């Protein structure tokens, strides 16, 4: 009689299945970690148009002490609110209106380091009654923006985190598309 060698085969097959199962579950995690750490196979394309602020900076680090529980389109004016600043304020309002039924999930605000001219103040109250006017700490802002005096438009999430930044040359349609995408992907605000 010959010895039966089939007894070892099911055990080997079970180990092989276990190893394949572990490789299928742990392999993608290890690959993604390596891709992140050593920056290979990272896609060059992106779905947004502004400058992504992905380092956890907050509205307070920008120099604005305000609490908002919705998404916010914030215009910062470290110098006086001139033409670029006024254009961004107008753009922020138009973007909020462009959200349609989602408009209640966002607000728009102006944070200025210097007092607004009386004529501009009355114009803002007349034309933009829902525009929140906030104080901007110039020193805080300069630390974050390295002294850049240009007006900026920021998209800020409901937790106060800076998400995207745009300058005065930004395209309103692109900003609206970015904000719509954020609102679609977000369960907050």
pLDDT (mean) for 171-178: 96
User: Are residues 76 and 38 part of one domain?
Assistant: no
CATH of the domain at 130: 3.40.30.10
Query: Are the CB atoms for 188 and 159 separated by under 8 Å?
Result: yes
pLDDT at residue 121, rounded to an integer: 94
Residue 1 in any domain: the answer is: no
Residue 2 in any domain: the answer is: no
pLDDT at residue 44, rounded to an integer: 76
Q: What is the pLDDT of residues 25-37, one digit of tens each?
A: 999 999 999 988 8
User: Are residues 79 and 12 part of one domain?
Assistant: no
pLDDT (mean) for 155-172: 94
Number of domains making up the chain: 2
d(CA 166, CA 115): 23
pLDDT at residue 42, rounded to an integer: 78
Residue 158 in any domain: the answer is: yes
Closest CA to 55 of 139, 144, 137, 142: 144
Residue 63 in any domain: the answer is: yes
> Which residue segment(s) compose the domain that 13 sits in?
7-42
User: Are residues 84 and 34 part of one domain?
Assistant: no
What CA–CA distances, in Å, run from 11 to 6, 8, 16, 21, 160? 10, 5, 9, 15, 56
Q: Is the pLDDT of residue 1 over 70?
A: no
Residue 33 in any domain: the answer is: yes
Q: How confident is the model at residue 41 (pLDDT cuts 50, 70, 90)?
A: confident
pLDDT at residue 146, rounded to an integer: 81
Query: What pTM does this model have?
Result: 0.76
Q: What is the pLDDT of residues 57-96, one digit of tens each?
A: 999 999 998 888 899 999 999 988 999 999 999 999 999 9
Residue 170 in any domain: the answer is: yes
User: Are residues 37 and 17 part of one domain?
Assistant: yes
pLDDT (mean) for 7-17: 78
Percentage, residues of the chain above pLDDT 70: 95
Q: How confident is the model at residue 151 (pLDDT cuts 50, 70, 90)?
A: very high
Q: Is the pLDDT of residue 4 over 60?
A: no
pLDDT at residue 98, rounded to an integer: 96
d(CA 26, CA 87): 51
In this structure, what are the phi and psi dihedrals at residue 113, rounded to the nearest 5 degrees? -85, -30
pLDDT (mean) for 146-171: 92
């Amino acid at each position: 009689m010959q010895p039966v060698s089939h007894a070892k085969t099911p055990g080997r097959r079970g180990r092989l299945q276990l190893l394949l199962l572990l490789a299928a579950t742990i392999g993608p995690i290890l690959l993604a970690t390596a891709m992140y750490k050593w920056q290979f196979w990272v896609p060059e394309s992106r779905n947004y148009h502004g400058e992504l602020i992905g380092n956890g900076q907050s509205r307070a680090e920008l120099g604005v002490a305000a609490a908002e529980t919705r998404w916010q389109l914030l215009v910062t004016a470290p110098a006086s609110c001139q033409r670029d600043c006024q254009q961004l304020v107008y753009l922020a309002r138009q973007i909020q209106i462009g959200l349609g039924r989602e408009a209640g999930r966002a607000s728009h605000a102006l944070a200025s380091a210097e007092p607004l001219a009386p004529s501009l103040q009355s114009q803002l109250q007349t034309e933009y009654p829902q525009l929140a006017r906030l104080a901007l700490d110039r020193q805080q802002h300069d630390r974050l923006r390295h002294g850049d005096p240009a007006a900026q438009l920021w998209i800020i999430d409901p937790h106060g985190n800076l998400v995207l930044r745009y300058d005065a040359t930004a395209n309103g349609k692109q900003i609206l598309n970015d904000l719509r995408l954020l609102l679609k992907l977000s369960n907050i605000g």
